[in-house]
A and B are shown apart, each in its own frame.
Chain A
Amino acid sequence: MNLRGVGVSPGIGHGPAYLLTARVPEPPEGATHAGDADQEKERAVLALAQVAGELEARGDRAGGEAREILKAQALMAEDPGLVVKIRSLIDRGVAAPRAVHEAFTKYRQVLAGVGGYLGERAADLDDLRDRVIAQLTGQELPGLPPAGAAPYVLVAHDLAPADTALLSGQAVAAFVTEEGGPTSHTAIMARALGVPAVVACAGATTLRPGVEVLVDGTSGEVRARPTESDVARAESVDTARQAAIDRVTGPGRTKDGHPVPLLANVGGPGDLDAALSCGAEGVGLYRTEFLFLGRPDLPDAEEQERAYRAALEAFPGGQVVVRTLDAGADKPLAFLPPGSSEPNPALGERGLRLLRAHPDVLEAQLDALATAGAGSAGQLRVMAPMVTTAEEARWFAAACRAADLPVAGVMIEVPAAALRASDLVAEVDFVSAGTNDLAQYAFAADRELGALSELHDPWQPALLDLLAGILTAAARAGKPGGVCGEAAADPGLACVLAGLGAASLSMGPAALPAVRAALAYHTLEQCRAAAESARAATTAADARAAARAHLPELEALGL
């Protein structure tokens, strides 16, 4: 049986499956207590306190990050709102276990409704609820295999911090869960332990206990009953993948020498070391709003200059693309408030729209950039976020010229701007396609919604078409057109973007080595053929497969 999920912690792991799936059964609806409400309330409060104490003790034994997580979970067990709810249910005659179940359900719905990080915390509440009910009903919770057992593959619906806190990297060969995302505890813990993990793996809990399982934390592949040669092959692919990636150094270029500068996305001077150590040739997206989140006022010129100069000095001779403040929507800045309350902030006053409403803030930032850039060794390029029309691009370019900034560009992340890319390119010196927002707006799909993640697959042919349009418009005008965003971090897609004419690719530093290797093993001609085949496909999966058929070395590299 082969399953597939999302790899969230890289590497190969194999061992017998250990299923942690038994849940405490739901206490029957309508269950009542014998009549002494006070005694029943005392019983419930005692059970909550016992579970909280046990979680804290486990946290103390585990130490580190697990300790913080379990402490927070212990606080939830004694949450006053929860306790009030349980007490009032018991006063109405509900038996303690059922009261606990109902009170937790209420809070779970609130957290799950918020989604994202909080939605993933709902699993913590389920675990807590089961522990309290088990305590009240005298049930045993399923435990882990005894220490010293052969490394096993831990399979579960979802793992709670209490499940994983006392695990060591030696005991577990890999994690596989049906639920969870990249920010779930399973993912965080697995990366901290250095253990491969696959989450969102449908069907994982149908694996038979004890069956041998092979897990690829990079590709997300989970294989039951692998042969010895399957295991050997997966391990050698993984070793070769790492070695092949590590062997390729130097600036980004295709096998035949076509240069594709590989740049890093950074949020502040603190990210520069990681960018340098991953071999970035410059900065392709400096998200300046992250420097100033949580600040009541715009930081003064000197502080701004310092932050910008740090990046320019880190990359002498390299390009440093600074994006002016991209505030609004999910990144509000106190000193850049929108004009009115916004029922739909993603479609509201954000990015350049806000800067036009607060020209003094933009002017101060551009002046600080000009001072930092003057006489510096790096090549400073400045670009505006969330630009929609050529008129906006012209306005921003004029503001840069007035501040003595020689190179001005715009990000293209709104479909209207992508469709008329040549009009925008004509007004500026360069453009950069921001694939995350471009996908969000082109597919009318909120980036944060897991349920819509299929629409955010960067291989969607409609997104490839928009990117092709942007890059072609830039090439025709003889100006650089780059790509920043998650799409550039996928090694196969990075080759496709190079084939579409991307002048540079910018991504989170960790993705740089694999992308560098993918480019180095393929010619520009292969990249172009891959791009053409991908755009001829009608689904994201077909586009990926069609492109990879022209990029044979990806398979060999294990990418």
Chain B
Amino acid sequence: MLLIDCPCCGLRPETEFRCGGQAHVARPATPADVTDKDWSEYLFVRENPRGVHAERWIHQHGCGRWFNALRDTVSDRFVETYPMGGDPKSTTTETRL
């Protein structure tokens, strides 16, 4: 079970959280202007990297807040967590293990 550092609550066990998939996929401001192809990319196409991945998480059974996290998909190590709307401090893409 992962140990996740909620920006509001600190280290808490994974069962209190829910992962919301890739982070920094902004909803287009004016969807009507988006082509069918771009819209389908926005809806369905996501990264699936081997290594560090920016993800959305929500502390569902805690403070209820969404936040972002950099997680290494190979080692499951959390590089950092940071508030929704913010940018990560770390620029690492190295993969451990």
Is B truly associated with A?
Answer: no
